Amino acid sequence: MSEHHIECIVNGEAVSVQRVPARRLLSDFLRDDLHLTGTKRGCETGICGACSVRVDGEVVKSCLMLAVQVRGRAVQTVEGLAQGDQLHPLQDSFMQCGGLQCGYCTPGFLMAACAMLETDPNPSAEAVRHGLNGNLCRCTGYTQIVESVLDAAEKMRHGN
């Protein structure tokens, strides 16, 4: 079994881990090697999106990706959203609008929504639903998640 040296940027900080087995999934690398447990393992079959993170700004499912695939790239997890004590507008809106109940899917939704709002800062409700169709939530029925994202989009457009 081959082992690899992984050097990448995670939430703005340089990371270097020696002897990572080729079969290590990105989700396991983040949680077990880097102890960033905000990223959740849900279905682990590419369906639920709870493991969504951003790689070079794009949202991906970290259970469908090997850790070796992020060598030389920049990864952002939910731990990288807040600036110190200042929550990201999406995090704030999910709290204000009731965009979560159990919260297990929330990190994945936040990362997918964050990537979506960068390419489409003023989405319609329909566009939000379409942009989040790689993520499942079994609690909220989605309505409040869509409201949360629209609320955050408005705050972000007004420079908050």
Judged by the rule CB under 8 A, the positions of this chain that interact with other proteins are 1-2, 4, 21-23, 25, 44-47, 49, 52, 55, 58-61, 63-66, 68-69, 112, 115-116, 131, 133-136
User: Least distance from C-beta 81 to other proteins, angstroms?
Assistant: 17
Q: What is the C-alpha separation between 151 and 85, in angstroms, rounded?
A: 20
Closer to other proteins by Cβ: residue 3 or 95? 3
In this complex, which beta carbon is closest to other proteins, that of residue 10 or of residue 66?
A: 66
CB of 111 to other proteins, least distance (A): 10
Location of structure tokens 């994202």: 149
What's the min distance (Å) between Cβ of 82 and other proteins? 22
Q: Which is nearer to other proteins, 57 or 95 (CB)?
A: 57
d(CA 152, CA 110): 11
- Return the number of the residue (41 or 88) whose C-beta is nearest other proteins: 41
Q: For the stretch 118-137, what's the b/e string if a residue is b when 16 or more beta carbons lie within 10 angstroms of its beta carbon?
A: eeeeebeeebbeebbebbbb
Quote the least distance from Cβ 85 to other proteins, whole Å.
Answer: 30
d(CA 66, CA 55): 12
- Gap between the Cα atoms of 128 and 140, Å rounded: 15
